[in-house]
Amino acid sequence: GQNIDQPTEMTATEGAIVQINCTYQTSGFNGLFWYQQHAGEAPTFLSYNVLDGLEEKGRFSSFLSRSKGYSYLLLKELQMKDSASYLCAAMDSNYQLIWGAGTKLIIKP
Protein backbone atom coordinates (compact mmCIF):
# COMPACT_ATOMS: atom_id res chain seq x y z
CA GLY A 1 0.00 0.00 0.00
CA GLN A 2 0.89 3.65 -0.11
CA ASN A 3 1.98 5.36 3.06
CA ILE A 4 3.55 8.56 4.33
CA ASP A 5 4.98 8.84 7.83
CA GLN A 6 5.97 12.02 9.61
CA PRO A 7 6.04 12.98 13.28
CA THR A 8 2.82 14.29 14.72
CA GLU A 9 4.28 17.21 16.60
CA MET A 10 7.62 18.92 17.20
CA THR A 11 8.69 21.79 19.40
CA ALA A 12 11.60 24.14 18.76
CA THR A 13 12.95 27.45 20.02
CA GLU A 14 12.85 30.73 18.16
CA GLY A 15 16.12 31.28 16.27
CA ALA A 16 17.02 27.59 16.28
CA ILE A 17 17.02 24.95 13.53
CA VAL A 18 14.53 22.11 13.18
CA GLN A 19 14.39 19.12 10.85
CA ILE A 20 11.10 17.45 10.03
CA ASN A 21 11.47 13.95 8.63
CA CYS A 22 9.20 12.11 6.23
CA THR A 23 9.33 8.57 4.92
CA TYR A 24 7.19 7.40 2.07
CA GLN A 25 6.07 4.29 0.22
CA THR A 26 4.24 4.84 -3.04
CA SER A 27 3.35 3.02 -6.24
CA GLY A 28 5.83 4.75 -8.47
CA PHE A 29 7.30 8.11 -7.61
CA ASN A 30 7.09 11.49 -9.26
CA GLY A 31 8.44 13.71 -6.56
CA LEU A 32 8.06 14.82 -2.96
CA PHE A 33 6.32 18.00 -1.88
CA TRP A 34 6.38 19.96 1.34
CA TYR A 35 3.55 22.32 2.19
CA GLN A 36 3.01 24.67 5.11
CA GLN A 37 -0.46 25.03 6.56
CA HIS A 38 -1.50 27.53 9.19
CA ALA A 39 -4.61 26.72 11.21
CA GLY A 40 -7.79 27.39 9.27
CA GLU A 41 -5.96 28.11 6.05
CA ALA A 42 -5.15 26.15 2.91
CA PRO A 43 -1.68 24.67 2.37
CA THR A 44 1.00 26.77 0.73
CA PHE A 45 3.76 25.27 -1.37
CA LEU A 46 7.24 25.16 0.13
CA SER A 47 9.32 22.78 -1.95
CA TYR A 48 9.45 20.02 -4.50
CA ASN A 49 12.19 17.39 -4.85
CA VAL A 50 12.35 14.73 -7.52
CA LEU A 51 16.11 14.16 -7.63
CA ASP A 52 18.31 13.09 -4.73
CA GLY A 53 19.92 15.86 -2.81
CA LEU A 54 19.33 19.09 -1.02
CA GLU A 55 17.32 22.02 -2.37
CA GLU A 56 17.84 25.27 -0.51
CA LYS A 57 15.40 28.14 -0.60
CA GLY A 58 16.12 30.87 1.88
CA ARG A 59 15.59 29.68 5.44
CA PHE A 60 13.97 26.46 4.22
CA SER A 61 15.75 23.49 2.67
CA SER A 62 14.41 20.12 1.58
CA PHE A 63 16.30 16.89 1.09
CA LEU A 64 15.39 13.72 -0.76
CA SER A 65 16.82 10.22 -0.88
CA ARG A 66 14.85 8.14 -3.36
CA SER A 67 16.66 4.92 -2.51
CA LYS A 68 15.69 5.30 1.14
CA GLY A 69 12.20 6.69 0.54
CA TYR A 70 13.12 9.55 2.82
CA SER A 71 12.88 13.30 2.85
CA TYR A 72 13.34 16.06 5.36
CA LEU A 73 12.44 19.71 5.61
CA LEU A 74 14.99 21.88 7.38
CA LEU A 75 13.94 25.20 8.82
CA LYS A 76 16.66 27.61 9.98
CA GLU A 77 16.52 30.77 12.07
CA LEU A 78 13.08 29.85 13.29
CA GLN A 79 10.55 32.62 13.68
CA MET A 80 7.32 32.58 15.63
CA LYS A 81 5.39 32.80 12.36
CA ASP A 82 6.83 29.40 11.39
CA SER A 83 4.45 27.80 13.89
CA ALA A 84 2.23 25.75 11.59
CA SER A 85 1.62 22.26 10.31
CA TYR A 86 4.03 20.95 7.71
CA LEU A 87 2.63 18.45 5.26
CA CYS A 88 4.73 15.95 3.36
CA ALA A 89 3.18 14.60 0.16
CA ALA A 90 4.57 12.12 -2.36
CA MET A 91 3.34 11.95 -5.93
CA ASP A 92 2.73 8.43 -7.22
CA SER A 93 2.90 7.03 -10.73
CA ASN A 94 -0.60 8.37 -11.47
CA TYR A 95 0.52 11.88 -10.50
CA GLN A 96 -1.71 11.69 -7.46
CA LEU A 97 -0.51 13.20 -4.20
CA ILE A 98 -0.35 10.89 -1.21
CA TRP A 99 -0.46 13.04 1.91
CA GLY A 100 1.09 12.59 5.31
CA ALA A 101 -0.91 13.52 8.39
CA GLY A 102 1.23 16.60 8.92
CA THR A 103 3.68 17.67 11.60
CA LYS A 104 2.54 20.40 13.93
CA LEU A 105 5.53 22.61 14.68
CA ILE A 106 5.38 24.67 17.86
CA ILE A 107 7.88 27.49 18.19
CA LYS A 108 8.67 28.75 21.68
CA PRO A 109 10.28 32.10 22.47
Partner 1 sequence: GAVVSQHPSWVICKSGTSVKIECRSLDFQATTMFWYRQFPKQSLMLMATSNEGSKATYEQGVEKDKFLINHASLTLSTLTVTSAHPEDSSFYICSARDLDSGRDIEQFFGPGTRLTVL
Which residues in this chain contact partner 1 in the complex, by CB under 8 A?
30-31, 33, 35, 40-45, 48, 87, 91, 95-97, 99-102
Smallest gap from residue 41 Cβ to partner 1 (A) = 7
Look at strands 32-37 and 44-49 and give their pairing.
Answer: antiparallel
Size of the chain in residues: 109
CB of 4: closest distance to partner 1 in angstroms?
9
Handedness of CA 65, 66, 69, 73 (dihedral sign): positive
Residue 60 or 99: the one with the smaller Cβ distance to partner 1 is 99
Nearer to partner 1, 15 or 38 (CB): 38
Residues 6+ apart with CB under 8 A from 23: 4, 5, 6, 68, 69, 70, 71
Q: How far apart, in whole angstroms, are the C-alpha atoms of residue 47 and residue 7?
A: 18
Q: Nearest approach, Cβ of 77 to partner 1 (angstroms)?
A: 26
Q: Provide the minimum distance between the beta carbon of 27 and partner 1 in the complex, in angstroms, as a whole number.
A: 15
Nearer to partner 1, 31 or 55 (CB): 31
